[in-house]
Structure 1
């Protein structure tokens, strides 16, 4: 009887809680939402399953919660564990009605009521409650995903820096987070100046949390995941939860490749199409002037000398982002 079983409604809250050791203060705030108080100066939100077909991070969080319940792991810090989209997880689909990861920062109030809008509202309330309880502490929210397609950098992160028009990676909170990401096995980080409605961005902009959307390999069905591929990340989370003091302030190593966003290309018409191979990997590089996408007789081209592509998806809803392009971060 696991965190996943409770999230999917396969067991009741009472059955799930019955497994907890009597001294464990783990609380069920909602299906897929578990809270553990802590007394340190660090509070951590770990979320996964915002898209229901991205299963590996869900299994990682499930294992961590199992270790806490089994008294193998004793976190030192306040934690909020979230499995984001129970209905989509049950069906093994990305979403049911619309993309849940575009409905935060109150965006769920601006769309027609649906499964995702109700879940976004609930998750926003849970995160608000958590950070209100631990407002004075150093805050971190890692929202864990898997990419739809292959990637040159298998594990990468999108880190919001929207309040800083000039990105300074020596700034202590950002430097600290980049070091944590590197220790967790992340190979590249995109420093995003864009204001978005994603789950991690909401924690960043509303609560001042260090935050990132982590992409941990390619999205695969439950049984096809090789969890050895995620061992470094899982081990780092266990270490992070176990430390009495959260460290990671050292200078960022050059091993972590840093990018900034050059273009955001949105889809507005049904005839939108990408101008490169359907199986092109994330971080594929294109040269100045090359056509990236077309729609309604308009062409979107590479503007810088070189740009790297990220999250290309011509099947998104009209008005949604279909592609990001990147350039290397230059200090």
Structure 2
């Protein structure tokens, strides 16, 4: 039984459903969208493969589904397993026409019809259906990715947060979420107040879910992944689904590094150019006044004493984010 093979069209729906165990009420809503009812009080969306070249998290979710089907693990909570972009996964490319992870919150309606727009609409409807089925549950969505470059903190998360005036009311929930991320092996968290069109942000803003975009190391082709590098994270997801206390098996974690977004740089011209090496690692640090990027009529420089770069990519489409910079987050009340 392979969730991946069905997602990629190598199994028909009938063939896939026939392989699902009769004792579980799995529902196959669409290729790459698999629903499993649960008791509550938590409902989990676990997604991967929104970008087709980020394969390790896809293998993690596929293995978890296999273990459920073999009765090796017994889920407690309702789960929606999503493999996001079947065509891009099949072609081993980031996307086909445009970045799927910029088309949520209804933004797919504002672009020309394409594979990604259709897929974003389907995924939005699937998540809406899932959370409506479990409206009284605590909602959570972890969207699992891999970064296209190295990082000083290889396993990190981007977590949407409320505006400052609402922060007091969500501190307890945020502290709990940060603790979960730390237990999952995440090393750094970017707390972002930016309104975006990402998959996890849509679940946060539309349904109040505890949401995060997780970056789990570097993106690699299918066969090049060493899945032992992801075993700890996979074990944590299993403990989350089954509501069992996670056994760290001797692994210790240092305190999470917390960051805020300092600047967001949007590519507005075709000649947008980074002022540093294209393979610069995420979280690399620059000093005040240093040039980060430039395009016709504009330079982008460090404004704070120090800022770290995140997701630099001069090859994005015009109008898309080409670079974020970060500063340390100092609100102790949120974490302590």
The Cα shift of 1:170 comes to 7.6
**1:295 & 1:244 partners in 2: Cα distance?**
52
8 Å contact from structure 1 (residues 283, 310) kept in 2: yes
Aligned to 2:256: 256
Output the TM-score relative to the length of structure 1: 0.96
8 Å Cα contact 1:8/1:86 also seen in 2: yes
Q: Which residue of 2 aligns with 1:2?
A: 2
In the alignment, does 2:68 pair up with 1:68? yes
Distance 1:164 1:221 in 2: 41
Shift of 1:165: 5.2
Query: How many equivalent residue pairs?
Result: 325
Question: CA separation in 2, counterparts of 1:74 and 1:163?
Answer: 38
Which structure 2 residues correspond to residues 116-135 of structure 1 after superposition, within 5 A? Answer: 116-135=116-135
SS in structure 2 at match of 1:182:
helix
Q: Does 2:127 correspond to 1:157?
A: no
TM-score, scaled relative to structure 2: 0.94
- Give the corresponding residue for 1:111: 111
For residue 279 of structure 1, report the CA deviation from its aligned partner.
1.3
Moved over 3 A (4+): 162-170
Q: Distance in 2 between matches of 1:152 and 1:177?
A: 22
* Partner secondary structure for residue 269 of structure 1: coil
d(CA) in 2 for partners of 1:176, 1:19: 37
Per the alignment, do residues 123 and 302 of structure 1 end up closer, same or farther by CA in structure 2, a change over 3 Å counting? Answer: same
Q: Which residue of 2 aligns with 1:172?
A: 172
SS at match of 1:18: helix
- 2:57 corresponds in structure 1 to 57
Residue-by-residue CA offset, 1:284-329 (whole Å, 9 max, x unaligned): 0000000000000311000000000000000000010000000000
Q: Does 1:267 align with 2:267?
A: yes
Measured in 2, the distance between the counterparts of 1:267 and 1:104 equals 20
SS at match of 1:178: helix
For 1:322 and 1:225, the matched residues in 2 are separated by 27
Aligned to 1:189: 189
Aligned pairs for 1:1-331 (under 5 A) are 1-164=1-164, 167=167, 171-243=171-243, 255-331=255-331
CA contact (8 A) 1:52 1:93 kept: yes
Give SS of 2:19's match: coil
Q: Is the 8 A contact 1:289 1:302 kept in 2?
A: yes
Say if 1:72 and 1:164 are closer, same or farther in 2 by CA, change over 3 A.
farther
* Unpaired stretches in structure 1, ≥5 consecutive residues: 247-252
CA distance in 1, matches of 2:283, 2:206: 30
Map of 2:249 onto structure 1 = none
- CA–CA separation in structure 2 for the residues paired with 1:90 and 1:184: 28
Distance 2:318 2:270 in 1: 7
Q: Displacement, 1:254?
A: 6.3
8 Å CA contact 2:239, 2:245 repeated in 1: no
Does the 8 Å CA contact 1:262/1:307 hold for their aligned counterparts? yes
Report the Cα offset of residue 169 of structure 1: 10
Pair 1:133–1:283, CA change in 2 (3 A)? same
- What is the root-mean-square deviation in Å for CA atoms of aligned residues? 1.5
